[in-house]
Chains A and B, each alone.
Chain A
Amino acid sequence: MEDAALFEEFRIEAQEHLTRVADGLVRLERCEGAVLIEEVNGLFRALHSIKGSAGFLGLRNVELVAHAAETLLDRVRKGQQQVSTSLIDLLLQVNDRLIALVEDLEASNSADVSSILDRLKQALESNPSAIPEAPKPESTHQALPTLIQPAGQDEKDPGSHHHLLLDPDRGRTIRIPVAVADRLMTLASELVLVRNQALKRLEPRDAAERELVQRLSTVTSDIQRTVTSTRMQPVGTLFQRFPRVVREISRQLGKTIDLVLQGTEVELDKGVIERLADPLTHLIRNACDHGIESPAARLKAGKQAMGTVKLIALHEGSLIHVIVEDDGGGIDPAKVGRKAVERGLLAEEERVSMTASRLQSLILRPGFSTAEVVTDLSGRGVGLDVVQSNIEAIGGSLQIESELGQGTKFHLRLPLTLAIIPCLVVEAGEHRLCVPQRDIKELVLLDGTAKARLEMGHDRQVFRLRDQLIPVVALAELLGSPVVESDAPRFLAVVRGGSGCLGLVIDAIRNPEEIVVKPLHAALESLDIFAGSTVMGDGQVSLILDMEGVAREAGIGHASAAVVAQPLAKVEEVTLVLLFEDGAGARYAIPLDAIRRVVRFKAADVQYVTGRAGIRLPDGIWTMRRLEDVVAGVAPVPIPDAGYLLLPKATSGDLLGLVLAELIDTALAPKVLQPVIPAQVGVMGVAEVCDKLTLFLDPAVLLGSVEGGR
């Protein structure tokens, strides 16, 4: 079946061309002169290429339609045809028809294309050429007469059959099935796992061995990074559909709107892009519909009649920012506030004390958007709560900035990839489970004191969190583990779920870990309490909890909207800490007042004595300790080529320093920490710092106790 492969090749190629054509057609309306001719030439080439390949493959209908459209474009090119809205509409329809034909190539030859051909024919006849057709020997594309003839018969263009093979861009990319890419991803993760296990066992004896192990380690990390990058796609593939969306909406609304795209080359995980399409379409429609004013209103406000919507993508660190910005009327905080009070979402006293931006973000509240609000409030906020929850479902966030009269900016922050997410590993009954960190709002230690205990409210357990009552679910019980009465302190994880907050009682908190999410086995799909599965550092499978599913399973529906809006409490008592990572994504903090200093070192500075790494500093030779030497459960990472050595303030006589793989920053952190259970020597506790769960270490204990332990 070589034919099948050729057809598939053609299909993919034609689809790419047709997307470009749709994109170009929308731009056509705005162009003039030389730019217009350039655009038309581009469209012409794309259609010509489709026509040529279709003719070669005997796809007669595709060929006929492409040829007719090409003829029409040729006349535009020669200045015989004006670019009008109706012409562009027609060509867009032709493009749609071609997309449909190409989608199902097998059936394309038996499809009925007469109506679209008739309309193309009409378009050509109704606009008789102003200039008599000059015979142009170099042009092989004649206008009307050839319209209903298969192009291959009248045209002897030797190039046209070879587009399939000679596209200059083709050599730079290869296409592989998604299944293969996914398998590579799995294997790369497995390789990292094997590497970690091997590093635990291997004790390099000499420099040569050490170098070998280090190289293996680096190559492994590189492989994983590279394989992960194969899942990346430019956001342009998503953005390019929007010019047409904007064009259609603005026509319906009688507005003129220019869509400006920026950062189309920014890359995002395929999965994120797929799940971004709907929310982004909603935001763009919203900006055109409710953001941009009518031309008359704009002129009255001293603006240009043409409104502008900007769609911008930016890459910053491990986040992608997508911004939808309009220069429309903005959101009136006073109006929003009044409406929210009317709708019972807000108390009058609250409204008075709220800042303008807090008031504006009320439009994201569920229940704010109803048909009534649409008319009254120029419709800001139609279903925006849905957009917000969609964005949050992929681990992102949505923020609104708006200035009355100046415009509105929707700011999306998105994770680079869906495939790897930071999780907190917890225990409930005999189960070990992963809770995505994006779902965790805070952790509370239930130590039985008045402030931290569960109460019975009506028929279910509740927890009083700063005057908010949140429903509580005992995770172990929910998962069917036998109920064990014990006095051991447990934790309450306050998580997002069931359109509000939910308290999850867990027995123990293990370490934070970055995990590779794998879909749950198809036969287990009906278990909606799990979002997926993963392979942990020890090679065992672990299940990832889905908070929405957990809330459903526990029969928790809607929590009060007030809980959703409640921001995290600010902890007053703070201390300055040094943040660092272990190279595998886990965060640690050490209070600055426990640090003597941090020195930078290179591999060349490190000396080995009886298998121990040391480094000479002015005050003596410091022995290097890696994180995994002193903290249980840390993934082993070899001593990096260049890194930092932390020297503690207190030493027990021996000069011991801690190797830090990656310094992040210094930050303010709460003084009061949640303890780790089971308690670990040298671990002070956990807290959330800069939105990440962070393990607090006491270097004095860690580095003091090491020698005693060995």
Chain B
Amino acid sequence: MTATSQHVCTFRLDGHLYGFDLAMVREVHPPAPWVVVPKAPPEVHGLVNLRGRIHLILDLRRMLNLKSLAPSADHLFILFREVAGESFGVVVDAIGEILSIDGKDLEWKETERNPKSSKLIDGVLTHGEEILTLLRANALLGAMSHNRVKQGAGS
């Protein structure tokens, strides 16, 4: 499937350029007040109520092992379609343009820096001067660490 073209929803995180397959993205939502989930895996940013449906918001920074900064003041939520998993989304710093990329443009690269983050990465390509990293939305929920840190209560 090298010659197929694909629409990519790009966004910025920690200064880097990333993208999700547009087919996975349901909407981009302005920030809403979220509730921290105690004892949840560290990747969980919180829960938000968006039009009566509770969404799980993940901290993509942590999942990509970026310098864990607090989200920017004008951060946004990217929410995914059901094909990517039960109602959830990620926090991003800023949304970019929608790019149409041709399969031929892709410089597929195996990233092996981190076994966890590489599962999330679909491929890398150059966009102008920049590197655009394509992420797999449907791999996000599965990449959450479920072996949460045991904290002995009371002692």
Contact = CB atoms under 8 A, between A and B. Distances in A.
Given A521-B54, A541-B35, A473 B88 contact: no
A521 B86 CA distance: 8
Nearest to B52: A190
A648 B62 CA distance: 59
B44 A479 contact: no
A542 interface: yes
A542 B35 contact: yes
Nearest to A536: B49
A193 interface: yes
The listed residue with most A CB atoms (<10 A of its CB), out of B39, B40, B44, B46, is: B39
Given A541-B49, A541-B54, A522 B37 contact: no
Contacts of B53: 186
A187 interface: yes
Interface in B3-57: 33-40, 44, 46-49, 51-56
B138 to A, nearest CB: 13
A524 B51 contact: no
A521 B47 contact: yes
A665 interface: no
B37 A543 contact: yes
Interface string B119-147: 00000000000000000000001001010
B118 interface: no
Contacts of B88: 521, 523
B49 A539 contact: yes
Nearest to A188: B52
Interface residues of A, number: 37
Contacts of B37: 524, 527, 530, 543
Contact of B40 (A189, A461, A524): A524
B153 to A, nearest CB: 5
Interface string A519-546: 0011110110110010100011111000
B153 A473 contact: yes
B36 A555 contact: no
A431 B36 contact: yes
Contacts of B144: 523
B72 to A, nearest CB: 22
A421 interface: no
Interface in B93-124: none
Contact of A518 (B36, B51, B54): B54
Contacts of A527: 37, 39-40
A523 B56 contact: yes
A477 interface: yes
A541 B48 contact: yes
Contacts of B33: 539-540
A125 interface: no
A477 B39 contact: no
Interface in B45-94: 46-49, 51-56, 85-88
A345 interface: no
Contacts of A190: 51-52
A522 B52 contact: no
Secondary structure type dominating chain A contacts: mixed
B151 interface: yes
Nearest to B140: A523
A478 interface: yes
* B-side interface size class: 20 to 34
A555 B36 CA distance: 23
Contact of A473 (B44, B51, B152, B154): B154
Contacts of B153: 473, 477-478, 553-555
A535 B85 CA distance: 21
A533 B40 contact: no
B87 to A, nearest CB: 7
Given A477-B154, A539-B49, A521 B87 contact: yes
B155 interface: yes
A190 B53 CA distance: 9
B30 to A, nearest CB: 14
B39 A480 contact: yes
Contacts of A189: 52
Contacts of A186: 52-53
A572 interface: no
B38 A193 contact: no
A210 B146 CA distance: 52
Nearest to A194: B52
A477 to B, nearest CB: 7
A97 B152 CA distance: 53
Contacts of A138: none
Contact of B154 (A480, A524, A533, A554): A554
A698 to B, nearest CB: 34
A85 to B, nearest CB: 51
A50 B19 CA distance: 55
The listed residue with most B CB atoms (<10 A of its CB), out of A461, A524, A529, is: A524
A533 B54 CA distance: 8
B5 to A, nearest CB: 31
B49 A523 contact: no
Contacts of B141: 522-523
A430 B34 CA distance: 13
A459 interface: yes
A201 interface: no
A460 interface: yes
Contacts of B47: 521, 533, 541, 543
Interface in A425-484: 430-432, 459-461, 473-474, 477-481
A432 to B, nearest CB: 8
The listed residue with most A CB atoms (<10 A of its CB), out of B34, B53, B56, B154, is: B154
A477 B39 CA distance: 11
Contacts of A530: 37
A523 to B, nearest CB: 5
Contacts of B38: 431, 479-481, 529, 543
Contacts of A522: 86, 141
A523 B86 contact: yes
A430 B146 contact: no
Nearest to B148: A526
A461 B144 CA distance: 35
B154 A543 contact: no
Nearest to B85: A523
A673 B47 CA distance: 35
Nearest to A519: B54
Interface in A182-240: 186-187, 189-190, 193
Contacts of A554: 153-154
Given A521-B86, A529-B39, A533-B54, 17 more contacts: A190-B51, A461-B154, A479-B39, A480-B39, A480-B151, A521-B47, A521-B55, A521-B56, A523-B56, A527-B39, A535-B54, A541-B48, A541-B54, A543-B35, A543-B37, A554-B153, A555-B153
Q: Which 6 A-B pairs give the minimum distances between C-beta atoms?
A: A190-B52, A479-B38, A521-B56, A541-B47, A541-B35, A554-B153
26 contacts: A186-B52, A187-B52, A190-B52, A459-B154, A459-B155, A461-B154, A474-B154, A477-B154, A480-B38, A480-B151, A481-B38, A521-B55, A521-B86, A523-B56, A523-B86, A524-B37, A524-B40, A524-B56, A526-B148, A529-B39, A530-B37, A533-B54, A535-B49, A541-B34, A541-B47, A541-B54
Interface of A: 186-187, 189-190, 193, 430-432, 459-461, 473-474, 477-481, 518, 521-524, 526-527, 529-530, 533, 535, 539-543, 553-555
